[in-house]
Structure 1
Amino acid sequence: MFSLKTRIAMGFLLVVAYGLMTIIVALSLPASEIHFRTDKDTIVATLEDGREISVTQFSNDRQRIPADPILLLEEPDVLPGYAAMNDFFRAHQFLESALTSGSLSLQDENGNAVAISSSSRSLVSLPGLFWLQLICGLSGMVVCLLVWVPARSDIAINSFALTGLSYVLFSSAAAIYSTRELFMPGQLFALLSGINHFGALLFSASLGAFLWNYPRQAPSIWFSGMFYLLFAVAIVVDQAQLVTTPAAGFHSWVMGIFLLGLAGAFWQAWKTRGHRQDRIALRWTVLSIVLGTVFFAGGMIVPAMLTMPTPASQGLLFTTFLLMYLGMAMGVVRHRLFNLEPWWFSLWSWLLGGLVIMLTDLLLATLLTLSGPATLALSVALIGWLYFPVRQYLWGKLIRNQRQGLDSWLSQALPAMLQEQQNAPEQSGIAAALQAVFSPLSLKRAEGPVANVSIEDNGNRLLVPDSKEPHHFELLHPHDGQRVFSRHDVETSKLVLALHTLVNQTRTAREEGASEERNRIRRDMHDDLGAKLLHLLHKSPADSKPLVREAIADLRDLLKAMEGHALSLDAAASQWREETSRRCRDHDVTLQWNENIIPATLHAMQFSETTRIIREAVSNALKHSETPLLSVTLHGDTDKLNIIIANSGLDPSATPGPQRGLNIMQSRASKIGGGFEFGIADQHWQVLLSVPVNR
């Protein structure tokens, strides 16, 4: 199957091909050097010499018809009946046949005859209104294409895509016949008018089906099918002319189907009560549709049904439909209409980038044909030295070869996997590696295990197992949607999983080796240094015993940290209080201990560093101040422990000394992801420490 971008490119080429076909048909229409316009109830002809005359009739060698201003009517279905439309088409068939045979002439109000010769049309001669209608129709189709191709197929998405197809049908058909230079084959005129009616009726039907199915699905699929059944009935009634007037056979059907579809907005409003996201999508959708259709309905359909003159050109009113598609595109940007992912915008940038390059090529080619010899040489030099290198670089970015060898994917997967495991140890790193290797438009971790790597959705989706079951990874559209997944990608994914296993085994072996070495060092310290400190404690004089006890306590904390076991917050607080109380008694200082902690634990590293910070803060208070009272407050928060150590022995006249101890405490707090502050509050020197805890 084809990749996402390939399918979009193919659809875009079909849209371009249809636009070129429309231009070719418009250029094939006959023209003349005499230009015609209406002035009240008269056709005025501007001759080649610039003179203007009032035309009374057209004739050939055998027949003549009156010069009715209706012949220059932009849209024939505003005529009072189908019979008048048929006469209108027959008159155009006569004019075109006589012009191409060289026998057509006009007669002015004085009875003078002027021969009309045939000429061909050029791109420059096509009116601006032709280009406006055609470009608007093609643009609407492109928006629908970019929504329909990447989205999951359902009746709402398909109906929305059909509105784009019908829009380009009726706007392009009208662009041809509404900008004609009077002359047009009657059969072609009737065919294009039928295509216009077909597109308009299909637009109303598909828009109605869309409104009844988005954001919530219609009560029944048969209810949605009713709109397309009404479309089929309406097109038969209109084209078979089963009624007498276009107002009854066409305009009333368009308006009736549209209003029936608009009733779906009220049903959707009732169904989306209490669902905020669906309600936002509904409001944005209805607002876009109303803004895009109300001008045409009020300016064309309603006047035609009431046999009133239209207030504006049909071609200008057609352009307002583009507001609907632009509103939908903005809805995708702001509110993710149709559940399209953010990568939808990369498709736009890719498509528009390629279009800009191709249009620039055409523009430069056109300019080269208009240049003189000197300018031509300079232009060729600039294009060769500047434009083509830049063009090829940009084109290579848009359309690049995505085949990867072992060295390529390995250089992408391994650093991404290691970096992910370093930044987030709880993550496997597989997702980062898959993102680096495949660059999918979407990668998400989905519920449910999968046994093996597999390809789904015709190569657009790749499922990869996760080491942390029961989950798996789901990748959509590899390399920014430029291709589909293949069997080669399945093998590459298996290599990524094997690499992940190897990395995990290496990390496990390294951790086991480090743990074994720590245990050996811990045993040696316990057996050798511990025994010597105990011996020293028994042999030391009374005034030295507190210092030896502190050394033994430090050794005990160090050995616990090396064991790597977690400690409950209650047990940690008990040890801190016991040690602090003993030290305060040794210095004849009263300890005020306030404790309000939560059920939590500290890792060995957290406990060890926090103990050292508390010990250093207490030492500073006991050694560098003459405080009679030491206050320690422990307060447990949601995910951290706050510790405040304050003393009242502050000497306001003392000059600040070196802060090496404070800097060390701050460094220890940062090491465990905590916070450390110090300062004066209420004539008390205090240290504030926050430590993250595990609940």
Structure 2
Amino acid sequence: MRRSPLFVILAALVCGALTSAGAVWMALQPPWLGLRLAPGQTSDTVLVLAVHPTGPSSHLREPRFLKALDGFPLKASDLTEDPDQLSPYSSVEAFMDRQALLRSALEKPSLRIGFENAAGYQTESTISPRPRPLSDLPAGFWIQIACGLGGLLISTWIWALRQGDAGARLFGLSGIGLFLSATMAAVYSSREIALGGMLFQALSFTNHLGGLICSGGLALLFLVYPRRLVGPRTLQLIACVGLAWFLLDAFHWLPSPTYGIHGLVATFFILIFVAIAAQWIATARDPASRAIIRWLGTCVAIGTCTFIAFVSGPLLLGLEPVLSQAAAFIFLVLIYAGIAVGVSRYRLFELGEWAFRLAFYFAAALMLFAIDAALIFVLRLDYGLSLGLSFLVVGFGYLPLRDFLWRRLTATPNVSNEELFQRIVEVVLSPSPEVRSQRWRDLMERLFDPLEAEVLTEPVPAPVIGHDGLEMILPTTSVSPALALRYPWGGRGLFNPNHVAVAAQATALVQQADNSRQAFERGAMEERRRIARDLHDDVGARLLTSLHKPDLPETRETIRSAMADLRVVIGGLTGKTRPLGEVLADLRHETIERVEAAGLRISWPAAEDFNPTLLAYGTYNNLVSTMREIVSNALKHAQASMITVRVTAKGERVQIEVGDDGVGLPQAASSRLSSGLGLSSTAQRMADIGGSLTVAADGPGTTISLEFPISPVTAPTEDALTAASDASRP
């Protein structure tokens, strides 16, 4: 039956706390002499390293060796930390028998102890053993208890959140085994002299069982996670072999105790390395699983290699272990700590940041309760005061530490807004569509560091998360097709709604910037077309005309007009603006010269003062070209003797009327032109600047009216031009 994660974690915490409390109780039960002992260099010597200043033996004068308890001689092997170090099984049995006898001697109200002092004299003294104080438990005891509890809580935390996952269940089982093994070892490895034969055997049996569960659980874990390599029957067969091995050791049916639990643990650890290698091969085409096995395998390899090299390996070779029990368990619990970090970094067991949030909140509540209880029962503080102090400690101590750990454990690459904007500008201003697409993909990989990035052919309208956060689809933009990003941050995290918001913002920015770029390019292309038209219609036409002029003065006049047109076009290329009054004055002077040279009379009164109004190149170029075309038509076709030009201002618009006293236009032609059906190039030019051209031919001659808006243009100052030039430099 599936339980809530909180229930499972609380159950593990309660069971762990009760078992740890039981371990403390068992460690304090044997009568206490107040001596810190160690095996001597010979088999019949026990070194006295220190005497507790207030203990039962505090009256002894510089004891060097402890020789006997109530006439029972002591051996160095009586202080063996773990009976697994003894061989053969008969030595283990003799060790247990001696533990029973020594415990019986310690139970006496008073006993005689034989010791040898620093001067080499052997004497006897009577002492009365007392209950062992909690403060006398060595640091190794608490280290092993902490390692066991740490492994238990980490493994059950993952198990609670993924109760249906086989890998999580096996990992949880291995943590329970580590807890049992470490807790039992903490009791018998921290004894002063003896625990008692039956208790020692029970503790050793439970320690061996925990070692089987821990190492076997880890070995089976790598056979099913991240890829299932074997079926259920193979897992059951391996478990049965391990259980049979354990029972053979428990009944002393193996050749030697060193081949018992340590041989079994070493075998399972070797199986772990084989499974890691098999997982590495199986995940060759799966980057996310490859990242998981790399991290998980590294964590387990460090812990198991250390245990084999410094504990199991020397024992199997008949040597003394290099590390103590406490140090060995520190390296084993590092496996579980590394896997806990891997939950956030590599999403182990399909868990993400939310798993750490749950763990941190639970730890805060637990710490608040523990501190409050300690202040009440240890320091005897008032309930209200203790609760307030507990909140202060949690608020100013734990919460900043939690925030620091959260940032360290869930840290992801960060891109500032300035860098993001700069990279988007680089994308949009890239020289070709292919480069823009590649730079956009590079930017997304810089933002999210995915293990995979795939170009999609189907259009996608907006960013969307898929596969439980393993994948995010980026929408189609004008710079790139849709992209599928998978396994963010090197496979160490998941996509969440915040990442969707970042992707949407980046997509909107690049789309807006690219739209602006396209509008600029369209404007630039239109400007090129207009310049080409001006060169063709004005300069080209005049030069072509000059080739066919038989008269040299006329040819020169035509070439001068072409040069004037060319100056206008060049002025447009440089973005030059001109005052309206100046344009009209030059046009008046040019027109008068052309009309009088043709033998006609002209009336063009001086115009109003328009000098403050500046015209852009497109406006004055179209105006000049239109006026030249109208005058040319009058000179060629009107058969007139008089041309009249009037310029007037009507608010924000200017009207120019050009009339002649010639033969006029046919009514049909005039009607078509004024209705806009057959507009000539002159009418089109006026339309391009927002103006109009109308023709009136009701009386003698023809009158053409031009009307266009005045759009003032601010002339750039010299400082502005200099600043723009400097900004354009790389």
**TM-score (ref. length: structure 1):** 0.55
**SS at the partner of 1:310?**
coil
Q: CA deviation at 1:9?
A: 2.6
Cα 1:334/1:134, change in 2 over 3 Å: same
Cα 1:241/1:343, change in 2 over 3 Å: same
Q: Which residue of 2 aligns with 1:26?
A: 27
Cα 1:385/1:341, change in 2 over 3 Å: closer
**SS at the partner of 1:118?**
coil
* 2:170 partner letter: S
Q: Which of 305, 313, 316 pairs up with 2:324?
A: 313
2:311 aligned with 1:300: yes
Counterparts of 2:356 and 2:335 in 1: how far apart (Å)?
Answer: 18
Q: CA deviation at 1:127?
A: 1.1
Q: Which residue of 2 aligns with 1:49?
A: 59
2:73 aligned with 1:73: no
Q: Which residue of 1 aligns with 2:89?
A: 82
Q: Which string of whole-angstrom CA distances, capped at 9 and with x for unpartnered residues, describes residues 399-435 of structure 1?
A: xxxxxxxxxxxxxxxxxxxxxxxxxxx99x9x9xxxx
2:209 aligned with 1:202: no
Q: CA deviation at 1:625?
A: 7.8
* 1:349 partner letter: F
Cα 1:48/1:384, change in 2 over 3 Å: closer
Q: Indicate conservation of the 8 Å contact 2:269/2:304, yes or no.
A: no
**SS at the partner of 1:130?**
helix
Q: Which of 183, 189, 199 pairs up with 2:194?
A: 183
Counterparts of 1:144 and 1:209 in 2: how far apart (Å)?
Answer: 15
Q: Which residue of 1 aligns with 2:155?
A: 144
Cα 1:343/1:39, change in 2 over 3 Å: same
* 1:48 partner letter: S
Q: Indicate conservation of the 8 Å contact 2:307/2:331, yes or no.
A: yes
Q: Which string of whole-angstrom CA distances, capped at 9 and with x for unpartnered residues, describes residues 121-176 of structure 1?
A: 23212111100011011101111111111125233222111111111111111000
Counterparts of 2:713 and 2:617 in 1: how far apart (Å)?
Answer: 14
Q: Which residue of 1 aligns with 2:98?
A: 91
2:139 aligned with 1:128: yes
Q: Which of 247, 260, 263 pairs up with 2:258?
A: 247
Q: Which string of whole-angstrom CA distances, capped at 9 and with x for unpartnered residues, describes residues 248-281 of structure 1?
A: 3332222123212321111111111122111111
Higher mean alpha-carbon deviation, 127-136 vs 143-152, is at: 143-152
Q: Which residue of 1 aligns with 2:239?
A: 228
Q: Which string of whole-angstrom CA distances, capped at 9 and with x for unpartnered residues, describes residues 593-626 of structure 1?
A: xxxxxxxxxxxxxxxxxxxxxxxxx996645888
* 1:359 partner letter: A
User: Whose relative contact order is higher, 1 or 2, with alpha carbons under 8 Å and at least 6 apart?
Assistant: 1
Q: Which residue of 2 aligns with 1:157?
A: 168
Q: How does 1:135-534 map to 2 (within 5 A)?
A: 135-151=146-162, 153-365=164-376, 368-369=379-380, 383=386
Counterparts of 2:158 and 2:188 in 1: how far apart (Å)?
Answer: 30
* 1:43 partner letter: V
**SS at the partner of 2:68?**
strand
Q: CA deviation at 1:302?
A: 1.2
Cα 1:199/1:275, change in 2 over 3 Å: same
Counterparts of 1:271 and 1:22 in 2: how far apart (Å)?
Answer: 43
Please identify the structure whose Cα radius of gyration is greater. 2
**SS at the partner of 1:307?**
coil
* 1:97 partner letter: S
Cα 1:387/1:285, change in 2 over 3 Å: closer
Counterparts of 2:73 and 2:392 in 1: how far apart (Å)?
Answer: 63
* 1:12 partner letter: L
* 2:23 partner letter: T
Cα 1:681/1:6, change in 2 over 3 Å: same
Cα 1:50/1:329, change in 2 over 3 Å: same
**SS at the partner of 1:119?**
coil
Q: Indicate conservation of the 8 Å contact 2:615/2:712, yes or no.
A: no
Counterparts of 2:123 and 2:715 in 1: how far apart (Å)?
Answer: 114
Q: Indicate conservation of the 8 Å contact 1:107/1:114, yes or no.
A: yes
Counterparts of 1:622 and 1:163 in 2: how far apart (Å)?
Answer: 82
Q: Indicate conservation of the 8 Å contact 1:30/1:183, yes or no.
A: no
* 1:182 partner letter: I
Q: CA deviation at 1:16?
A: 2.2
Cα 1:624/1:346, change in 2 over 3 Å: farther
Structure 1: tracts of 5 or more residues without a match: 370-375, 396-425, 432-441, 447-568, 591-617, 631-645, 648-656, 663-677, 684-695
Q: Which string of whole-angstrom CA distances, capped at 9 and with x for unpartnered residues, describes residues 209-230 of structure 1?
A: 1111111102322222222112
**SS at the partner of 1:283?**
helix
Q: Which string of whole-angstrom CA distances, capped at 9 and with x for unpartnered residues, describes residues 436-492 of structure 1?
A: xxxxxx99999xxxxxxxxxxxxxxxxxxxxxxxxxxxxxxxxxxxxxxxxxxxxxx
Q: Sequence identity, in percent?
A: 25
Q: How does 1:4-19 map to 2 (within 5 A)?
A: 4-19=5-20
Q: CA deviation at 1:239?
A: 0.5
Q: Which of 105, 112, 115 pairs up with 2:126?
A: 115
Q: CA deviation at 1:391?
A: 7.7
Q: Across the two proteins, how many residue pairs are aligned to each other?
A: 446
Counterparts of 2:625 and 2:272 in 1: how far apart (Å)?
Answer: 81
* 1:30 partner letter: P
**TM-score (ref. length: structure 2):** 0.53
Q: CA deviation at 1:285?
A: 1.0
**SS at the partner of 1:49?**
coil
Q: Which string of whole-angstrom CA distances, capped at 9 and with x for unpartnered residues, describes residues 560-588 of structure 1?
A: xxxxxxxxx9xx99xx99xx99xx99xx9
Higher mean alpha-carbon deviation, 103-112 vs 354-363, is at: 103-112
Counterparts of 2:470 and 2:169 in 1: how far apart (Å)?
Answer: 26
Counterparts of 1:78 and 1:629 in 2: how far apart (Å)?
Answer: 109
**SS at the partner of 1:320?**
helix
**SS at the partner of 1:105?**
strand
Q: Indicate conservation of the 8 Å contact 1:5/1:347, yes or no.
A: no
